Amino acid sequence: MDDTARLVESTTSTSSTSSLLLFGTIFIIVISGIVWIVLQRQSAAISTKSLALASGTSVAALQSSKKRSNTVLITGPIGAGKTALWCYIRFPENKAAPKTQTSMAVNSAEVKVGDVNICLVDVPGHQKHRFDRDAFLPVARGVVFVIDSVSVSQNLTSTTELLYDVLANKHVQQKETPVLILCNKQDDPSALSNVRIKGLLEEEIDRLRASRQADIGSLRNVGAITGAANDNGDDDDEAAAEKANDFLGYDGKRFSFEDLPNPVQINESSMAMNMSIGGMEQIHSWIADLFE
């Protein structure tokens, strides 16, 4: 009996120690996660301030631009040439191709294009800046989505997902915000034409919307199963309804940009060749049309 008691006591002690170790590990993970989030936010704030000052944009102007109805937003995947385009429009007196690097923060400036004063905003393509992009979409008068014409076929899914999020944004849909898809780097011999890129994007959006609709069905099924056991049923239905509004085009019809309520224009460009392909005239003309 004494051996049995000691065995039970030893087992209980081991179990308690394991539980303490488990809870201790979870506690450390949670604290580490909180510290990481705080550091990321501080780093983003410092980065935004330093880039804003470097580009001649005050932090106050950057924040106020999110409330301006004359905002023209430049967005798209990483390395497509967004900041180069921003520099071309921002500094029209500079004829040489601007030397830029991947942006780490939002660039914003007051710019005069023809007779129109606009707030020109360039949002980095990294996924962590999607909230910055979504903050500007409600006030955007127009959106320029810049694409790398050379690597678009290799990065088709990620590029299309970014574009889909812009086109399906409820503010873009409600306001029928014009979108200019700019197929950049046309100076490269391996670049795809804007006609070819249009076809690839339409095919991928067609596939992506079907995938998203399937996700909606799964979400609703989960809500139906768990709704009776907890209070999240309404939340699941609300999330499913919100995702349902993401559907682009017409159900049962192959997707086409022409089916969207907002005008979508697809042009070619080459920042590396001083915009000798496409030209700045097309950009200025498109921006001017936004304010007519």
pLDDT of residue 244: 52
Total-model pTM? 0.70
Q: How far apart are CA 173 and CA 166, in angstroms?
A: 9
Decide which of 225 and 211 is more confident.
Answer: 211
Instruction: Identify the weakest region by mean pLDDT among 2-16, 75-89, 158-172, 181-195.
Output: 2-16
Q: How far apart are CA 72 and CA 122, in angstroms?
A: 9
Beta strands per DSSP E along the chain: 71-75, 107-113, 116-122, 140-148, 179-184, 264-268
pLDDT of residue 2: 55
pLDDT of residue 40: 52
Relative to beta strand 116-122, strand 107-113 is antiparallel
pLDDT at 37 over 70: no
Cβ-based neighbour number of residue 137 at 10 Å: 20
Task: Report the C-alpha dihedral over residues 195, 196, 200, 203, rounded to 10 degrees.
Answer: 60
- Average pLDDT of span 43-53: 42
pLDDT at 288 over 80: yes
Query: Are the beta carbons of 202 and 256 closer than 8 angstroms?
Result: yes
Q: How far apart are CA 213 and CA 208, in angstroms?
A: 9
Cβ neighbours of residue 19 under 8 Å, at least 6 residues apart? none
Q: How far apart are CA 241 and CA 219, in angstroms?
A: 10
- Average pLDDT of span 204-214: 90
